Amino acid sequence: MRTSRLTALAGAVATSAVLLAGCGGGMQSAPEEPPPPPAPSEPEPAMGQGVTTAEDVFGPGCAQVPTDPADEGSVQGMIDDPVGTAASNNPLLTKLTGAVQAAGLVDTLNDPNAQYTVFAPADPAFDALPPEQLDAMLTDPAQRGMLTDVLTYHVVPQRMDAEALAQAGTLDTVQGGQVTIEGSGEDLAVNGANVLCGNVPTANATVFVVDQVLMPPQQ
């Protein structure tokens, strides 16, 4: 009888041990998975790179630009076009457009990978040049290099707004010479040429319409 009780007790102990072992195994935590890699951060919008909006445009000459947003020559209409195309639609810049075409610079100005600041002489600025000088540059192949120099002297190879221009003071141009910016705010001059309509946005450039043709310094 005593042996039976001992046997039963031993069996109960063994059963309890098995149950405890089973419970202990169930309480083991699963291996921790490594945390997921952080999501790539979105690049912050580029700020202060001379990109303007229609609301930033200023100057008395802007009143001569079409106001209907559906008009490709309006400020709103110029925003989506590269600067060579945008200028060709603007009624203030018909003579500049003809000069750019004569010099073969349309594709250069329309380069989608380029960023420019363009000082664009209004039509009366070309009218102020001696007619024989302008005609020679536009029609004489021997003068083509001079025409290219004059036009690229109006182009800065980075995009800047009016505030950045005023802070810079002096800027290198695509032609290789330098232009000097005077004034501040909405009262700016480039080599003495007054800004008639500034901060005009295009797809790859910020445009400043000026009242004189800028002539590069003689080499």
Q: Domain 54-210 belongs to what topology?
A: FAS1 domain (2.30.180)
Q: What is the pTM of this model?
A: 0.77
Positive or negative: CA dihedral 140, 142, 143, 147: positive
Please, which pLDDT band fits residue 173 given cuts at 50, 70 and 90?
A: very high
Percent with pLDDT over 90 in the chain: 68
Please, which pLDDT band fits residue 106 given cuts at 50, 70 and 90?
A: very high
* Encoded tokens for 145: 């290099």
Element (H, E) at 197: strand 193-201
Q: How far is CA 65 from the centre of its chain?
A: 23
| 187-190 and 205-210 beta bridge pairing | unpaired
Which pLDDT tens digit goes with each residue over 50-82? 899 999 999 999 999 988 888 898 999 999 999
By C-alpha distance, which of 175, 164, 161, 157 is closest to 208? 161
Q: Is residue 77 a contact partner of residue 107, using CB atoms and an 8 Å limit?
A: no
Distance, CA of 207 to CA of 51 (rounded, Å): 10
Q: What is the pLDDT of residue 49?
A: 78
Which pLDDT tens digit goes with each residue over 125-166? 999 999 999 999 999 988 889 999 999 999 999 999 999 999
Q: How far is CA 78 from the centre of its chain?
A: 14
* Encoded tokens for 178: 């330098």
Q: What is the pLDDT of residue 69?
A: 86
- Compute the CA torsion angle 120, 124, 125, 127 (nearest 10 deg): 130
Which positions ≥6 away from 166 have C-beta within 8 Å?
A: 181, 183, 184, 185, 188
